[in-house]
Copies of this chain bind each other. A is one copy, B any other.
Amino acid sequence: MNTKRVGNQTVVFQNPPFIISAYSIVGPKEGQGPLAQSFDQILQDTYAGEKSWEKTEQKMIETAIRQTIVKAQFTNQDIHYMLAGDLLNQMISANFTARQLALPFIGVYGACSTMALTTALGGMLIDGGFANKVVCGASSHHDTAERQYRFPTEQGIQRPLWGQWTVTGAGAVLLSDAGNGPKVTSATLGKVVDLGETDSNNMGAAMAPAVADTLISHFNDLNRQPDYYDLILSGDLGSVGFELLLQLLDKSGIKIGNNFGDCGKMIYSLEQDTHAGGSGCGCSAVVLAGDLLKRLNNGSLRKILLVGSGSLHSPVSSFQGESIPGIGHAITIEV
């Protein structure tokens, strides 16, 4: 038993699952950003024909998961588990998608780290011999998140410059024990780290210590240097959190090269004026399912490390005076 554990916190897959297909769907703003060409589908408006933004978000993740399965030329009957989650209370986007698809469903919550967490767990289910094929997904919608966590968007509240913009988007990947494609090779699941940040507009600062903690564990566990990877990405620290991450890593003696980046910094241009960048479960989900997998599949990337970053608070916990617990879940994908 247990030969798959390396160091304190990392597991290395013995039969690494293949990512045989992926699908990304985004809103209009994301479709005007620098990664526009990498997405499979761009919505014309934030409703896409639905009566509420919640229903739009549900439709997005349903579309992403359905199309991921179709792209790989499988049917729902071939899929052993669906793992998914989202930011909405009780994860209704994922739950109602599971209803539509009638797949055995594992609900997973890691806030904005959900895509990395579902992919890590999905990899374990395949490598552990419990499934041949699993589909993993996550979603967020700017307008559903704003009104749940902050203010109704119609109110036009001015956002602070360190605030991030919740991505409207959903991404999914299909993991398989056989086939072609980049492989999920290891996972380092994170601990909650909370250094006391209480400003729910400054999630980057709240999450950076947890991402640093997971990265340091990952490098220590595998006895690797950052230059092993072509690209090391945090999920959605944005510009403020990413700066803090680099400072924390530097203090810990980690050698920071040009291969460090952040999905939240990649998805919008500075001209789009989102302030500190993108956030939300959809952020790292669509960057993974879009840009990263396209580059892994065309050979321009060969080894990446993605650390999904999550703020595990709720409006209730913030109102009751709690600070924001952060978490970082890391996966490695290699060609």
Which of A162-170, A184-192, A262-270 is near enough to bind chain B?
Answer: A184-192
Shortest CB–CB separation between residue A78 and chain B, in angstroms?
A: 11
Chain B residues whose C-beta falls within 8 Å of the C-beta of A189 in the assembled complex? 81, 104-106
Instruction: Find A128's partner among B107, B130, B316 (CB 8 Å cutoff).
Output: B130
Interface residues on A, range: 35 or more
Task: Give the complex CA separation of A81 and B91 in angstroms.
Answer: 22
The interface of chain A, by Cβ under 8 A from chain B, is 1-5, 9, 11, 14-15, 51-52, 54-55, 80-81, 85, 87-92, 95-96, 98-99, 102-111, 117, 121, 124-132, 177, 189-194, 312-317, 320, 322, 325, 327
> Which partner residue on chain B sits nearest A132 by CB separation?
B2
Complex Cα spacing A177 to B2, Å: 9
Partner of A98, one of B4, B15, B192: B192
Further contacts, 14 of them, CB under 8 A, given A103-B191, A105-B192, A127-B128: A1-B126, A4-B128, A5-B132, A81-B189, A87-B90, A90-B109, A90-B111, A90-B314, A102-B192, A106-B117, A107-B108, A121-B121, A128-B128, A128-B129
Tell me if A320 and B54 are in contact (CB < 8 A): yes
Residues of B within 8 A of A327 (CB): 98, 105
Asked if A107 and B105 make an inter-chain contact with CB atoms under 8 angstroms apart, the answer reads: no
> If the complex has contacts A110-B107, A325-B95, are A314 and B128 also in contact, measured as CB distance less than 8 A?
no
